């Protein structure tokens, strides 16, 4: 257990996250309570709820920031960039944030074991695809091209992430993203 420190400590969110991940890994997500997380972090339940809406949010709290970063990269891609290149810029932006492979592996393992967390992850991916499509439409890409390109980009993101997290080799996430986009381009051009 982490020693008790003032609940207004600026490190409270980090301590709560670390405590939650530790307990989820040891006991399982469903078996872990907010009270146990707070106690493990040396904080109160009230402090937990100042930082997180619920115990699922510990695993998804960075989703809005990640989506903002990725969609911003799509919007800020060069004006003459083809739609797939704009989406590639968005997916590649994720590699600047998602760098802790051990945390990502642990998080993914927890999600894989829990249908409620899997559903939340799917909702997150659907939201990101919709935001990509919207950004492409703002760039002048018509439907169904905007939606198809956005979904293809999300597939590349998801597959690259899985390869990075589950893969035995130590290649970096960005390298896997670039390789997966190249595979997509090659498969589309083959006839």
Condensed to tens digits (0 to 9), the pLDDT of residues 167-186 reads 877 889 999 999 999 999 88
Q: What is the pLDDT of residue 8?
A: 58
- The C-alpha atoms of residue 159 and residue 152 are separated, in whole angstroms, by 11
How does DSSP classify residue 8?
T
Reply yes or no on whether the pLDDT at 10 is more than 90: no
| Cα four-point dihedral sign 157, 160, 163, 166 | negative
Instruction: Tell me if 141 sits within 8 A of 149, measured CB to CB.
Output: yes
171 is written with which tokens? 């290649």
Structure token digits, residue 40: 């493990």
- CA–CA separation, 111 and 60 (whole Å): 10
Predicted confidence (pLDDT) per residue in 112-168, tens digit:
999 999 999 999 999 999 999 999 999 999 999 999 999 999 999 999 999 999 987
- Mean pLDDT of the residues in the chain: 92
How many CB atoms are closer than 10 A to CB 152? 20
Mean pLDDT of 10-36: 93
Do domains 12-58 and 62-189 share one topology? The answer is: no
Cβ-based neighbour number of residue 87 at 10 Å? 31
Residue 6 has pLDDT above 70, yes or no: no
pTM score: 0.87
Beta-carbon contacts of 169 under 8 Å, excluding residues fewer than 6 positions away, are: none
CATH 3.30.1600.10 for the 62-189 domain, yes or no: no
Q: For residues 37 and 23, give the distance between their C-alpha atoms in angstroms, rounded to a whole number.
A: 7
For 76-122, what is each residue's pLDDT tens digit? 999 999 999 999 999 999 999 999 999 999 999 999 999 999 999 99
For the domain 12-58, what is the CATH code? 1.10.10.60
């Amino acid at each position: 257990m982490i020693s008790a420190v003032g609940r207004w400590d600026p490190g409270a969110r980090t301590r709560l996250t670390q405590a939650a991940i530790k307990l989820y890994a040891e006991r399982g997500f469903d078996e872990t309570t907010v009270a146990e997380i707070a106690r493990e972090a040396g904080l109160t339940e009230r402090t937990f709820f100042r930082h997180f809406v619920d115990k699922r949010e510990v695993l998804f709290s960075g989703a809005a920031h990640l989506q903002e970063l990725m969609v911003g990269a799509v919007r800020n891609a060069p004006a003459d960039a083809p739609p797939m290149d704009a989406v590639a810029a968005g997916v590649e932006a994720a590699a600047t944030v998602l760098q802790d492979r051990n945390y990502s592996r642990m998080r993914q393992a927890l999600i894989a074991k829990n249908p409620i967390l899997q559903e939340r992850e799917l909702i997150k991916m659907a939201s990101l695809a919709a935001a990509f499509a919207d950004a492409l439409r703002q760039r002048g890409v018509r439907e169904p091209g905007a939606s198809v390109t956005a979904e293809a980009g999300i597939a590349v993101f998801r597959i690259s992430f899985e390869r990075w997290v589950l893969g035995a080799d130590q290649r970096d996430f960005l390298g896997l993203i670039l390789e997966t986009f190249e595979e997509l381009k090659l498969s589309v051009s083959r006839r």
